[in-house]
Structure 1
Amino acid sequence: MDLQLTDRTVVVSGASSGVGLATTRMLIAEGARIAACARDLDRLRAAIDSIDGADPARIHLAACDVTDRDEVESFIGAAAGRFGGIDGLVCNAGRSLMAPLARTTDEQIRAEFDLKIFGSWNLVRAARGALAAADRGAVVNVNAILSRQPEPRLAVTSAARAALLNLTHSMAEDLAADGTRVNSVLLGLVDTGQWRRRFEASGTALDYDAWSAEIAADRGIALGRFGTAEEVAFPIVTLLSPLSGYTTGTSIDVGGGVGRYI
């Protein structure tokens, strides 16, 4: 199926690993041009170089802290200048703070909200003009089911993600006047480097598959396993497609059935 992404320019933040890298790989396979950023440029370059079919002439890479407005505007300006515009934006930079409220500092709380809110808003406002000039511009905020179903073990991350979900709906309403669509993909537990590091630090005698299956059971994941980055990337790329041109202000759960809300 042709998703009509050939020669469209898509910006992806947090592209050096996990969901961001998987999304970038899928977009390249669909023929898109890529502007990708991450905090560590060397790591980003190595990751992108590992993608089959990655053409340096069609890829713009930059180190960028998405919480820094000036850095984001410089990155977006350079990407739009190089490729003549921007058609899509994937706001993916993120992390989770595994800590109950009683063990969370004020600095950690501020950092979580800073990353979740400005990690999206800085990119969207910098790219807004370019997206408005595009044919069916699209934004996808990579968020989490925690935004609707908070966990005490991730209290502040849950709250920050709820704020981003709310903001995404406001963005969708605001940018509709430009013809730009804004949607969310809400992920559950995904097998990325973050979980691999937690496994290595756990001291468990189990192998990774058994350890992750135990966590999946504890969290009530109906499919009984973690998801893969590729399983999250697919709905992201689909929402960027012009074929999704009548979809805005909504969200797609990619959580193996962990969502319990209606």
Structure 2
Amino acid sequence: MDLQLGGRVVVVTGASSGVGLATTRYLKAEGARVVASARDLDRLRRAVGDLPGPGQVHAAACDVVDRDSVEAMVAEGVAAFGGVDGVVCNAGRSLMAPIGDTTDEQIREELELKVFGAWNVIRAARKHLAASDAASVVNVNAILARQPETRLAVTSAARAALLNLTRTLSQDLGADGIRVNTVALGLIDTGQWRRRYESAGTAQSYEEWAAAIAADRGIALGRFGRAEEVAFPIVSFLSPLSSYCTGATIDVGGGVSRYI
């Protein structure tokens, strides 16, 4: 199936690993031109340097909470490819801590990363998106936005703020023909979980350890998701074939959601 992304220009943040890298790989395979960004440029270049596919990838350093850095990254991408048709705001992390163990500075950092980490990129790209005939923004969020966890108290709150902002932006940017949607993740097998496994000091294999967590969290499919399983719905939202879809949220969590 042709997703009509050949030649389209898409900015992807947090592209050096995990979901961002899987999305970059998928887009390149579809023939898109990708402005892949991350803070560590050397690591990013190693990650995207030999991805297969007819598309092109331009690696650019960027710290999404630094507005000047974001503006420079978008300008660099436009200089390389001539415009922007899509944005994937993926840069992020989770803070595993109950509210009583969270400092004020950590609260500020989480809110800044989740809210400004998306808004800085969207507003930097906005005029270029408005010039596209198939403009699309995808904010990579988490099911936590609607289903908070005490173990991730501040991350849950920051995710909820991003989901609310995304819905607002879908209304605000619709007049410019810019669609704004959300892909909300459950537990995805990324470097964060691998590091947590290593620090757990368990005798279980990673697969056994992950399956036990999946059972504890009520994941219907009984396992963590894979980055490529997230990349597909992201790329689907970017496709012009999804041209009447905005303000929507797709859950990619193996059936973990408990809300209606």
- The TM-score by the shorter chain falls in which range? over 0.9
Partner of 1:138: 136
Deviations 1:181-228 (A, max 9, x none): 000000000000110010011000000000000000000101100000
Does the 8 Å CA contact 2:144/2:156 hold for their aligned counterparts? yes
Q: Which residue does the alignment assign to 1:76?
A: 74
- Aligned match for 1:155, one of 153, 157, 161: 153
1:207 aligns with 2:205: yes
Match of 2:250 in 1: 252
Which residue of 2 is the match for residue 241 of structure 1?
Answer: 239
C-alpha distance in structure 2 between counterparts of 1:54 and 1:260, whole Å: 41
Task: Give the structure 1 partner of residue 226 of structure 2.
Answer: 228
Matches within 5 A, 1:72-151: 72-151=70-149
d(CA) in 2 for partners of 1:54, 1:103: 48
Once the 2 structures are TM-superposed, how far is the Cα of residue 53 of structure 1 from its aligned partner?
Answer: 3.5
Distance 1:61 1:177 in 2: 31
Cα deviation code 1:215-250 (max 9, x no counterpart): 000001011000000000000000000000000001
Instruction: Please state if 1:15 is matched with 2:15.
Output: yes
Q: Determine the C-alpha separation between the residues in 2 that align with 1:189 and 1:207.
A: 18
SS of residue in 2 equivalent to 1:195: helix
**Gapped regions of structure 1 (runs ≥ 5):** none
Query: For the aligned residues, what is the CA RMSD?
Result: 0.9
Q: Which runs of 5+ in 2 are unaligned?
A: none
Count of residues in Structure 1 that have an aligned counterpart in Structure 2: 260
What's the offset of the Cα at 1:136? 1.5
Q: Does 1:5 align with 2:5?
A: yes
Aligned residue type for 1:215: I
Deviant stretches of 4+, over 3 Å: none
Aligned partners of 2:31 and 2:54 also within 8 Å: no
Percentage of matched positions with identical amino acids: 70
Counterpart-to-counterpart distance in 2, 1:220 and 1:63: 38
**Amino acid paired to 1:213:** A
- Equivalent AA in structure 1 for residue 57 of structure 2: I
Report the Cα distance in structure 1 between the residues aligned to 2:155 and 2:76, rounded to whole angstroms.
31
